[in-house]
Amino acid sequence: MEVMNFSFAEAAKVANQVMSSQAKRNLTDVEIIVLEGAWHRLEYDQIAAQNKYATSYISQDVAPKLWKNLSEALGEKVKKSNFKEALKRRWEEQSQQSSANVQPISALPTLSQSSCYVERPPIEAICYETLLQSGALIRIKAPTLMGKTYLVNYILDKLTTQNYRAANLSLELADRRTHFTNLDKFLRWLCLNLGRELGLPNQLDEYWDEEGMGSKVSCTTYLEEYLLPESDRPIVLCLDDVDLIFPYPEVYEDFFGLLRSWYEKARSRPTWQKLRLVIVHATDVYIRLNINQSPFNVGLPIELTEFTQEQVQIFAGQHGLKYSPQQSKLLMQMVGGHPYLLQQAFAHLKTHLGISLEQLLAAAPTDSGIYGNHLREHWATLQQHPNLIAALKTILQATMPVQLEPLAAYQLYSMGLVKLTGNHAQLRCQLYRLYFLVRLGMV
């Protein structure tokens, strides 16, 4: 939703400022074209056609990298569907900063810019030491916005100092209508982007033989004969957001079987021993997989937990805020140890010096509070799934954790709305309880 005077010109200016601050460069001409096309709600194929580019170049190269760079610069996840709101919030903050004659927010470090990372020992050490071993596989599970990407980046940064090659690829960048419904197209997309992550030229046509060998053998051959032997250095292959293909059995059954076969090869074959796998997902694996073809029952499982009170105080300090244990406890009573919700609070308090923690918390569970957009996004998702609203009502009516239908529980967990203890669910924090009690007319 746009606000008065917030035009595309203002949005492009803000995007250019944060890009300059984070990546030390301005937006390119083609990035501005994508930004303007998305602003006017054009599809990628329309943007490409209007500007005489290949659709794949816009949709699989320019756009994903643009949203990723803006996400890092703004300190929140940015994509085609929400970039307007993200840039608008930064523009409003800059306007307020300017009127108060203080340092503009574009010059202040965001979460990624200032290298804010709170360790959750011993998770980091376990992941790092495991990935130093030949043929390692790690499975990282946590709800949306719990810090999975920050953990992966932190570990990959450390491994690259040990001369490892890293390919970090999110399935969020794939086209669900095209790649998630056709195995050959998905595996070609995977190989193309793995090569790009490793800085290698596209050699797919030389190795791919869908008719003769089939897609899975072609994909495996591409790794075995091209990507892996290109260097003696080990490769850490991180696949993020893999739960996005759970609804697509035409792809996931063969793809997950393929990952399991790579894991088995890496335990015995010299070339494959250079491969380390990291699989990242936001929900439990509720899909049906042959136990001998699943990568989800091997390797090392890692589940991210919320921050402790001590870690919350460290996080606040990284934002230049000195919080007493009492203040940290007050904040955690509302949002728990949820990394994203905490980061939003700290960033707001850092840049709005006239607002107290108590004032922020008073407005937090309302549409006018700092979490308004976050809460409305959850509400919009719930309205599309009546079964999830029914499950949420059951939780809100209970005084103790309750047992839900498994798929509903997994979906609410993936959204980050609930915690699961065994088969029982409860609301993740008071923020969600207070907001949804009002939304559902239960107060």
Four-residue CA torsion sign, 169, 170, 173, 178:
positive
What are the domain boundaries of the chain?
8-107, 123-303, 309-364, 373-439
What mean pLDDT value characterizes the chain?
A: 88
Structure tokens at 312: 């919350």
For the packed helices 309-318 and 325-335, what is the interaxial angle rounded to 10 degrees? 100
The residue written with tokens 């990935």 in the block is: 131
Instruction: Encode 100-163 in three state secondary structure.
Output: CCCCCHHHCCCCCCCCCCCCCCCHHHHHHHHHCCCCCEEEEECCCCCCHHHHHHHHHHHHHCCC
| pLDDT-based confidence at residue 225 (cuts at 50, 70, 90) | very high
The closest alpha carbon to 292, from 260, 259, 255, belongs to 260
User: What pLDDT does residue 350 have?
Assistant: 85
Structure tokens at 389: 């609203």
The residue written with tokens 């074209």 in the block is: 33
Using one digit for the tens of pLDDT, what is the confidence trace for 329-372?
999 999 999 999 999 999 889 888 889 999 999 999 999 999 99
User: What pLDDT does residue 101 have?
Assistant: 40
Q: Are 338 and 146 spatial neighbours (Cβ–Cβ below 8 Å)?
A: yes
Using one digit for the tens of pLDDT, what is the confidence trace for 43-58?
888 888 777 777 877 8
Intrachain domains 123-303 and 373-439 with the same fold: no
Q: Are 239 and 279 spatial neighbours (Cβ–Cβ below 8 Å)?
A: yes
User: What pLDDT does residue 114 have?
Assistant: 36
Structure tokens at 205: 């046509």
Give the C-alpha distances (Å, rounded to integers) separating 45 from 35, 57, 177: 14, 10, 13
Task: Give the strand order in the sheet containing 402-403.
Answer: 402-403, 424-427, 418-421
pTM of the model: 0.75
User: What pLDDT does residue 5 have?
Assistant: 62
Q: Are 9 and 85 spatial neighbours (Cβ–Cβ below 8 Å)?
A: no
Neighbours of 390 (CB within 10 A): 12
The closest alpha carbon to 146, from 407, 430, 336, 425, belongs to 336
d(CA 141, CA 370): 27
Using one digit for the tens of pLDDT, what is the confidence trace for 367-422?
999 999 899 989 999 999 999 999 999 999 999 999 999 989 989 999 999 999 98
Beta partners for residue 301, in sequence order: 139
CA angle 195, 248, 185 (to 5 degrees): 35
Q: Does domain 123-303 have CATH number 3.40.50.300?
A: yes
Structure tokens at 406: 């498994």
Q: Which CATH architecture has domain 373-439?
A: Orthogonal Bundle (1.10)
Neighbours of 160 (CB within 10 A): 13
Q: Are β-strands 275-281 and 402-403 bridged in parallel, bridged antiparallel, or unpaired?
A: unpaired
